[in-house]
């Protein structure tokens, strides 16, 4: 049986690790390569690097980060942010990532999902969705896709987009609740469950994880295959071990390394 996965998300700007709360007021919290290595050694299952570098001429720095991580870290990791074309994806994969995370670019151009899946296989393509609750009755699922870190509404129904993403060739879906992100009050379980029940690919819960109990809820009630954490680990409130031990003790199948 597959283990539930603990994934950590590292936001990187200009080659530095930052933590964004609701995507604004980013704070510099260190070197992404040493953080990645520390988490790998602690038994983390997977990593996600999100490049939030504003200017495109600084993007090369991210590829250097990816290469350096690939030399030191021997678990799968994905990279997202600023990937607009199959060529952008190829550069990241060649630098050593296993997967690419498509988000805003896929909303503007859904064809990039199928192009990437054809070129690299569905296992390499993660569709990352930023979602917030829609006004009552305005969308069938009650949830809307937003872009640009939550600043721009798209009018797209979240559930419909998840199904379409799967049909286009996404191999996994990140359900990131913009409403819950940064609150540390728990994942958006209803939203996560709705997506998980309606797609046939793994779902990663994201946004709102603040305590190990929140991960347990996302992986059971939320129906997620994996849970993404950021601040919980980055600020040292919890260790990989303490989170995993909690989930293991409550009966979930978890990879325990120590």
Partner 1 sequence: MIHIVDYDAGNQTSVKRALDHLGVASVITSDSEELVRAERIVFPGVGHAHSALETLRKRGLDDALISAADRGTPILGICVGCQILLSDSEETDLPCLDLIGGRCLRFRPDDDAMKVPHMGWNALRVDRAHPVLRHVRPGDEVYFVHSYYPAPGDDRDVLARSRYGVEFAAVIGRRNMVAAQFHVEKSGPVGLKILGEFARWDGKPC
Q: Per-residue x/- mask for partner 1, residues 222 to 251, rule CB under 8 A?
A: ---xx-------------------------
The mark string for 36-55 relative to partner 1 (x by CB under 8 A, - otherwise) is ----x--x-x----------
Residue by residue, DSSP assigns 172-208 as: EEEEEETTTTTT-S---HHHHHHHHHH-SS-EEEES-
The reply on whether position 143 binds partner 1 by CB under 8 A is: no
CB-nearer residue toward partner 1: 122 or 159: 122
Closest distance between partner 1 and the C-beta of residue 163, in Å? 15
The yes-or-no answer on residue 118 being catalytic is: no
CB-nearer residue toward partner 1: 80 or 210: 80
- Asked if 157 is an active-site residue, the reply is no
Q: With binding defined as CB under 8 A, does residue 200 bind partner 1?
A: yes
Least distance between partner 1 and beta carbon 120 (Å)? 7
Look at the chain and count its residues. 258
- Closest CA relative to residue 105, chosen from 86, 132, 131: 86
Binding positions for partner 1, 59-118, rule CB under 8 A = 70-72, 74-76, 93-94, 96, 98
Residue of 11, 45, 51, 225 marked catalytic: 11
Q: Does 257 bind partner 1 (CB under 8 A)?
A: yes
118: helix, strand or coil = helix
Catalytic residue, chosen from 45, 51, 88, 130, is 130
Distance set, CA 71 to CA 31, 101, 146, 213 (Å):
15, 21, 35, 33
Residue 70 is inside which H or E element, if any?
A: helix 59-72
Strands (E) located in the chain:
5-13, 16-21, 24-30, 46-51, 77-80, 99-102, 125-133, 143-147, 152-157, 172-177, 203-206, 226-229
Residues that bind partner 1 (CB under 8 A): 1-3, 5, 40, 43, 45, 70-72, 74-76, 93-94, 96, 98, 120-123, 171-172, 200-202, 225-226, 255-257
The residues carrying an active-site annotation are: 11, 130
């Amino acid at each position: 049986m597959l283990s539930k996965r603990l994934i950590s998300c590292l936001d990187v700007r200009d080659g530095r690790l930052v933590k964004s709360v609701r995507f604004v007021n980013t704070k510099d919290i260190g070197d992404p390569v040493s953080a990645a290595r520390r988490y790998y050694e602690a038994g983390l299952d997977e990593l996600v690097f999100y490049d939030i570098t504003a200017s495109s001429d600084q993007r090369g720095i991210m590829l250097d980060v990816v290469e350096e991580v690939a030399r030191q870290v021997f678990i799968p990791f994905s990279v997202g942010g600023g990937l607009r074309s199959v060529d952008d994806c190829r550069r990241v994969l060649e630098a050593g990532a296993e997967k690419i995370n498509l988000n805003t670019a896929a909303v503007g151009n859904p064809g990039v999902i199928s192009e990437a899946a054809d070129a690299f296989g569905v296992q390499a393509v993660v569709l990352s969705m930023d979602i917030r609750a829609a006004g009552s009755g305005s969308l069938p699922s009650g949830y809307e896709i937003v872009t640009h870190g939550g600043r721009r509404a798209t009018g797209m129904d979240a559930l419909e987009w998840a199904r379409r993403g799967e049909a286009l060739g996404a191999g996994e879906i990140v359900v990131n609740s913009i409403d819950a992100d940064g609150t540390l009050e728990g994942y958006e379980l209803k939203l996560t469950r709705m997506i998980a029940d309606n797609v046939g690919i793994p779902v990663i819960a994201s946004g709102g994880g603040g305590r190990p109990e929140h991960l347990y809820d996302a992986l059971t009630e939320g129906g997620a295959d994996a849970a993404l954490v950021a601040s919980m680990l980055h600020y040292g409130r919890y260790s990989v071990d303490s989170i995993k031990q909690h989930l293991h003790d409550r009966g979930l199948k978890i990879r325990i390394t120590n």
